[in-house]
Amino acid sequence: MSGTLYGIGVGPGDPELLTLKAARLLGRIAVVAYPAPLQGDSLARSIAAPHLTAVTDEIALRMPFDPEKRADDVYDSGAEAIAVHLAAGRDVAVLCEGDPFFFGSFVYLFARLSERFPVEVVPGVSSVMACAAVLGHPLTARDDALTIIPAPRPEDEIERLLEGSEAAAIMKLGRHLPKVVRVLERLGLTDKAVYIERAGQPGQRMRSLAEAAAEGAPYFAMILVHKRGKAWI
């Protein structure tokens, strides 16, 4: 009997935004894997740390911090290290910031392992919902369409995606913020947009969009847009 691969969403950063199910499973799991920088601590592991009371083996997927570069070799060797435990009948929990199936490194491990081993995914609170909560900015009501847009997309595609729906969350801003601000200005949406960085993480910071555009944004920054502005309903 092989072990089960668990993809466990640990939420957006606040350790209290972990689910009861994640906490229960993490308390009995012996092998954990998680994304981490080349040097230093893993955010996902730090969120889960209070619950990791049964851990005997840890697999850190260490990758250069350039989230726009693919890291296939890291996922290949990480998947093989995980497969050794699964084949030996040991469950493995992959710790995922936010939700495992929403822009998570887990998707890359899932693609490599899900045909060979049983998989269970524990959904988590996503950064989109966490940003909305901190900003006091409802995402959707009525029959709004909401589009999640990664900021590395080309400028014309961001414009087309923003035009198409009532509400949007623009993620992974970093060096792409000036391009996104240009699009918002062209569409007359700057006063319907709010900005936040590292929501619920250490270093959470709210600034005006203008200030962020002038000073620069980290990768974990997000813009939420709603075309009805503050007329939520």
- C-alpha–C-alpha distance, residues 145 and 125, integer Å: 20
Least distance CB 131 / a copy of itself (angstroms): 9
Stretch that binds a copy of itself, among 31-39, 81-89, 139-147, 215-223 (CB under 8 A): 139-147
Q: Is 174 in the site for a copy of itself (CB under 8 A)?
A: no
In angstroms, the Cα distances linking 118 to 130, 139, 178 are 30, 34, 44
Least distance CB 214 / a copy of itself (angstroms): 25
E strand or H helix that includes residue 229: none
Q: Is 161 in the site for a copy of itself (CB under 8 A)?
A: yes
Stretch that binds a copy of itself, among 19-27, 179-187, 202-210, 212-220 (CB under 8 A): 19-27
Q: Residue for token digits 């890359």? A: 108
Least distance CB 100 / a copy of itself (angstroms): 7
- CA angle (203 as vertex; 7, 207 as ends), nearest 5: 115
Give the residue, chosen from 101, 179, 182, 205, that forms a contact with a copy of itself under the rule CB under 8 A. 101
Give the residue, chosen from 1, 69, 73, 143, that forms a contact with a copy of itself under the rule CB under 8 A. 143
- Measured on CA atoms in the order 134, 229, 212, 216, is the torsion positive or negative? positive
Stretch that binds a copy of itself, among 8-16, 36-44, 57-65, 78-86 (CB under 8 A): 8-16
Q: Judging by beta carbons within 10 Å of its beta carbon (0-12, 13-18, 19+), is residue 104 exposed, middle or buried? A: buried
- What are 143's two structure tokens? 């029959």
Q: Is 5 in the site for a copy of itself (CB under 8 A)?
A: no
Is residue 162 within 8 A of residue 185, CB to CB? The reply is: no
Residues 6+ apart with CB under 8 A from 211: none
Least distance CB 44 / a copy of itself (angstroms): 16
- Interface positions, 23-82, toward a copy of itself (CB under 8 A): 23-24
Stretch that binds a copy of itself, among 31-39, 56-64, 81-89, 128-136 (CB under 8 A): 128-136
- What are 39's two structure tokens? 């040097």
Amino acid at 29: I
Tell how strand 119-122 and strand 167-171 pair up.
Answer: unpaired
Q: Is 145 in the site for a copy of itself (CB under 8 A)?
A: yes
Under the rule (CB under 8 A), what is the footprint of a copy of itself? 7, 9, 11-12, 14-21, 23-24, 99-103, 107-108, 110-111, 114, 119, 121-126, 129-130, 132-133, 136-150, 152-153, 157, 160-161, 164-165, 172, 232-233
